[in-house]
Amino acid sequence: MNQEKTVARVHAEVDNKLVIETHEGLQQTYLLNPNRTMYLHVRHLQVFNEARRFRFGDKELGLAPAMSLYVRGRAALEGGSISVVGDPDNKVHMLGIGFHALDEDIRYRREELVQRQGSAPHYTCARVGVVHHKLGLGNDDDWFVQCELLPDALNAIAHAVSCGTMGEMTVGLALQGIYAAGDGTPQSAKNDWFLRPSRRDNTVEAPEMAQGDIALLSFEQALAHPARQACLS
């Protein structure tokens, strides 16, 4: 039996503003790309090594799967919540967050592109989205943040986590394709964030992802437990 999808009633979309009709018959305006940074406080980090199962290109045919380093944890939004426009009951304050290294081929292509454009290269990238689960499965929807970093930055994070010296981490994201409620009035850190429903049919089950740059990545390193001092040498 197919689950009935929820469709956001889009009234208008012009000048970076999305206007929908609420369930109460009122109009609500959302502003695209508000001039503010999404701050996340990261905790419960763990280090994983996983095999990259899919390889592309003739040069990689027949090669064994490459091992990839990942760091995953939980991230708490500073201030407000995040949800999908037209789905106000599905707001969250906590998201899963993952860090992985920027692929060298992608990095090379970006460098070539910015050289042609005459702009500065971006070596970090972030995406924010949600995976909806069907009703009755007993699973919450998975809100996620995916962060691409240079290998040196990822290795520093993984080393601190493995050695037990990772302190408080804060991540700031400058995102495109994300919305805030309102019509352009000044935003504060406590305002909520919203993803746009699917552009194809305005359903909220598969919203558009927001993506952009990592504007801030900072973490404190505490003293290691005596049993882990060897990790630092």
Q: Is residue 2 part of a domain?
A: no
Model confidence at 120: pLDDT above 80: no
Q: What is the chain's Cα-based Rg?
A: 20
Across the range 207-226, mean pLDDT stands at 86
| Tens-place pLDDT, residues 39-72 | 999 999 999 987 765 444 445 555 556 678 999 9
Q: Is residue 155 part of a domain?
A: yes
**pLDDT for residue 222:** 74
* Identity of the highest mean pLDDT range in 53-57, 156-160, 224-228: 156-160
- Residue 148's nearest CA partner among 53, 220, 70 is 70
Q: Is residue 37 part of a domain?
A: yes
Note down the domain range covering 110. 9-232
Model confidence at 103: pLDDT above 70: yes
**pLDDT for residue 136:** 46
Distance CA 41, CA 170 (A): 5
**pLDDT for residue 187:** 61
Q: What angle do CA 130, 131, 136 make, to 5 degrees?
A: 130
Domain count, the chain: 1
Q: Is residue 1 part of a domain?
A: no
Q: Is residue 90 part of a domain?
A: yes
In three-state secondary structure terms, 100 is strand
Residue 97 bridge partners (DSSP): 73, 145
Across the range 64-92, mean pLDDT stands at 89
Of 77-81, 129-133, 172-176, 203-207, least confident by mean pLDDT is 129-133
Tokens 């490459």 identify what position? 66
Q: Is residue 120 part of a domain?
A: yes
